[in-house]
Amino acid sequence: MQKHNFFAGPSILPQSAIDATIEALKDFAGTGISLASVSHRGKEFEAVMAEAVALFKEILNIPEGYSVIFLGGGASLQFAMVPFNLLKTKAVYVNTGTWASKAGKEAKLFGEVVEVKNPDYFSLPKNFEVPQDADYIHVTSNNTIYGTELLTDPDYGIPLVSDMSSDIFSRPVDVSKYALIYGGAQKNLAPSGVTFVIVKDEILGKMDRKIPTMLDYRTHIKENSMFNTPPVIPIFTALETLKWIKANGGTEGMLKRNNAKADLLYAEIDRNPLFKGTVAKEDRSIMSVCFVMNDEFKHLEDDFAALTKSKGMVGLKGHRSVGGFRASLYNALELSSVQALVDAMKELEQKHK
């Protein structure tokens, strides 16, 4: 039976990237050594690192004056590294969900945090004032748990930092509007274990505080992400995923692909009387589609879960904090999988008219 992978992360990746990684685990670059055992200092892996950085810059059209580095620790470590390197006195954190809240909590260890937040997480804050004396403003572009997404590159008048863990490479991004972009790779890029950071070089080195060597971005820029042993396997898979993205139209191609999937699913959610969306329509994510049963059909949740499971769908259960259902429509997910989900929604409707 074909599987339809809607997991939020670790999540679906291009089959070509998975296959290339499998082969490299057997024999990396003709060395006769597994990728799992190869030296990261060897010319073969140094070539992988260099090509991955080059493709990052090419696909996202990253301007001169920015560095791309690969680190460990996940996006959660970046919650602390960002303020350690950038927060002198005050920063603004737009709290749009669980992960944004955690990022703001870490920043409070380093300085004042001005929080921007709606009463709930089912819409994005808008038309708020940004103190221009703040060191930076932090946003989380996509919120996997609640299903909102910031689909523009805003200009707040101060340096902009964004956690793009779950929507990087899903659409074109004007990197020049950002001081720093970071994210865990386990959504659209690679297996868990590597974190990407895109940072404007000129914003670094301005702190009075001493920064531990491993937590200083300059350390990793200087050493080309090899100050310590990098996560070799996820970086290799990231390179193969970047090749797939480029071959499929780059970020413009991904946006077209993702809009088609999101439009199909949201149209069925809005049409089908059994279901309803959970967030404001203008803020709907094209990566994380969250929905629930309408109140009079709540008793059918288990039936729908069983139906989708019987048709090979996995990862549809909503986050434990909000319940319902969540379909993650990451780049590598095919439109046919979304169609299968829509067909299941229609089938349930027909049974309970």
Catalytic residue chosen out of the listed positions 187, 200, 243, 261: 187
Q: Is residue 265 within 8 Å of 333, Cβ to Cβ? A: no
110: nearest Cα among 179, 204, 207, 196: 207
In the annotation, is 244 catalytic? no
Q: Please, what sign has the CA dihedral across residues 203, 204, 207, 209? A: positive
In the annotation, is 27 catalytic? no
Q: Where are the beta strands (DSSP E) in 107-217?
A: 112-117, 137-140, 142-143, 148-149, 160-163, 180-184, 195-200
Report d(CA 182, CA 195) in Å as an integer: 7
Provide long-range contacts, Cβ within 8 A and 24+ apart, for 118-123. Answer: 121/96, 121/97, 121/145, 121/146, 121/148, 122/146, 122/148, 122/278, 122/279, 122/280, 123/148, 123/279, 123/280, 123/282, 123/283
Catalytic residue chosen out of the listed positions 3, 19, 43, 99: 99
Q: Is residue 145 within 8 Å of 321, Cβ to Cβ? A: yes
Q: Is residue 164 within 8 Å of 186, Cβ to Cβ? A: no
Q: Is residue 148 within 8 Å of 97, Cβ to Cβ? A: yes
In the annotation, is 187 catalytic? yes
Report d(CA 25, CA 35) in Å as an integer: 5
Query: Tokens 């070799």 appear where?
Result: 232
Catalytic residue chosen out of the listed positions 135, 163, 167, 283: 163
Report d(CA 10, CA 334) in Å as an integer: 17
Which are the catalytic amino acids?
Answer: 99, 163, 187
